[in-house]
Amino acid sequence: MAGVSVALLAAAFGFAGLGVASAGALVPAGVGVLVLAVGLFRASRRAVTVGATALFLGVLYAGARGGATEPILLGALGTVVSWDAAEYAIGVGEQLGRGADTTRLTLVHSATTLAVGVVGTAVAYSVSLSVGGGQPVAALVLLLLGVVALVATLRGGADDGGSNRTRR
């Protein structure tokens, strides 16, 4: 249950950041939070991914509409952390059972994800400051590349298809 709480809290954080950045971003972000919540309660990775994607569309919309950089970055951070926490919660639930107490395990994983995300967000913010107001498209492209790199890094160690299992 801790994973569900962390994922929904992070999604709400991302939603709030996007609301500050651009009112129009609230529509895809709201749909994303709702679908992510449904995916968590049904333990559906597909629904979680669709929900996180809708949240991320809110990030893209806010960026394209010229929203303030800081809330957009916070929205992106909330989106990535919510998606990772939801995926992790589903995976732990599959392996240990939905009734297992995974609070400590989940909090350590989510804190690590958040720490990596904060560093990535700081780098993206530094890039945004360095390009100034004259290059919003370049800043958005760099932000997207940073998010893709962060997600690839987070997913790289998540599941290797069972190759680490002991064979008899």
Tens of pLDDT along the chain (168 residues)? Answer: 788 999 999 999 999 999 999 899 999 999 999 999 999 999 999 999 999 999 999 988 998 888 888 899 899 999 999 999 999 999 998 888 878 888 898 899 999 999 988 888 888 788 777 776 555 555 666 666 676 666 666 666 554 444 444 433
Q: Is residue 93 part of a domain?
A: yes
Q: Is residue 123 part of a domain?
A: yes
Residue type present at position 62: A
Q: In a 3-state reduction of DSSP, which class is residue 66?
A: coil
Q: Is residue 40 part of a domain?
A: yes
Cβ neighbours of residue 59 closer than 8 Å, sequence gap 6 or more: 14, 18, 25, 72, 75, 76, 79
Output DSSP code: residue 167.
P
Q: Is residue 163 part of a domain?
A: no
Q: Which residue has the tokens 């926490």?
A: 85
Q: pTM (2 decimals)? A: 0.78
CB 151 within 8 A of CB 80: yes
Q: How far is CA 90 from the centre of its chain?
A: 15
Q: Is residue 60 part of a domain?
A: yes
Q: How far is the C-alpha of 92 from the C-alpha of 124, rounded, in Å?
A: 31
Domain range spanning residue 66?
Answer: 2-156
Report how many domains make up the chain. 1
Tokens of 102: 């995974």
pLDDT at site 128:
75
Q: Is residue 165 part of a domain?
A: no
pLDDT at site 156:
64
pLDDT at site 141:
61
Question: In the chain, where does DSSP find H-type helix?
Answer: 2-21, 26-42, 45-64, 69-96, 103-131, 136-156
CA angle 49, 96, 55 (to 5 degrees): 15
